[in-house]
Amino acid sequence: MPGSGLRRVMPRHPGVFLFLLLLLGLWMVPIAYMLGVAFRPSAQAFDPTIFEWPPTLQNFALVLHDNHLLVNFANSVVVTGGTVVIVVAAASMFAYGLTALRLRWLNPVYAILLTTMMVPITTMVLPFAIMLKQLGWINDYRGLILPYAALGIPFAIVILKAFMEDSPRDLFEAAMIDGCTPWQMYLRVALPMVRPAVAFVAIWQIIVSWNEFFLALIVMTDPARKTLTLVPMKYSGLYMANPGALFAVLVLIALPLIVVYVVVQRHFVAGLLAGAVKG
């Protein structure tokens, strides 16, 4: 029955719902404050209230006037889209070879990839910057797409490998008996079976790549190549000269992610909970 698996993992006790509701309220306070500052005059930015009435759009008008946001938005879309395609393709093929084709030589490679998940990204920013400069990829989309993909592939492999291992082995054997090539099994059997996991990995990578800041700050120094997450630096500093504009930019950065999540939230939740409701 559709939705029955989701209902099995939802808490039924009213106290649990009240506790979760309280946590949600606490989590929403910073977001509400961000919206409140974005829609108030700069002179009232530090007033001890969350919302001021009447709201104003002057911060958004200033941000749109001072920046080429469409260019920044397009750069973020190119970087994020390219990263997601590479991560999904590489991770799904690796997990397919490891679980369905049983390519044992991939096991040591998988173990090495897992160790990379233990290294914080901040410790790799400087080595990445030196390497990208030597390759001539500063102010180049490749300078962000390939590092983001390299950092996202290990996590994606872990998710997709777990799903493929739980998939019925009989389907792969039947496909081989029917004469399917490995590529046909990958496209027609493996990917359709792990579609929720692929959706989860894609959405997760969109969020991570869209919000990344440190590496983008070093790689994209040309204003025409800067991503959207670098725009807030213009309005922040030692004395935080224009907090209203700063929070207006943050709202514009978060808005595309909110729209994406609202559109695909069913697939995201299905991929997140599929492993919990198997059987």
Across the range 221-228, mean pLDDT stands at: 92
pLDDT by residue (tens digit) across 115-132? 888 888 778 888 888 999
Q: What is the helix (H) or strand (E) element at residue 18, kind and residue range? A: helix 14-38
Confidence of residue 1 (pLDDT cuts 50, 70, 90): very low
Q: Are residues 29 and 160 in the same domain?
A: no
Task: Give the mean pLDDT of the chain.
Answer: 84
Across the range 61-65, mean pLDDT stands at: 91
CATH of the domain at 267: 1.10.3720.10
Q: Are residues 15 and 109 in the same domain?
A: no
Confidence of residue 272 (pLDDT cuts 50, 70, 90): low
Across the range 87-108, mean pLDDT stands at: 88
Has residue 2 been placed in a domain?
no
**Above 80 in pLDDT, residue 50?**
no
Q: Are residues 94 and 16 in the same domain?
A: no
Instruction: Provide the domain limits for residue 182.
Output: 68-273
pLDDT value for 90? 94
pLDDT value for 4? 47
Percent of the chain with pLDDT over 70: 90
Has residue 61 been placed in a domain?
no
Torsion angle of C-alpha atoms 68, 72, 75, 77, degrees rounded to 10: -120
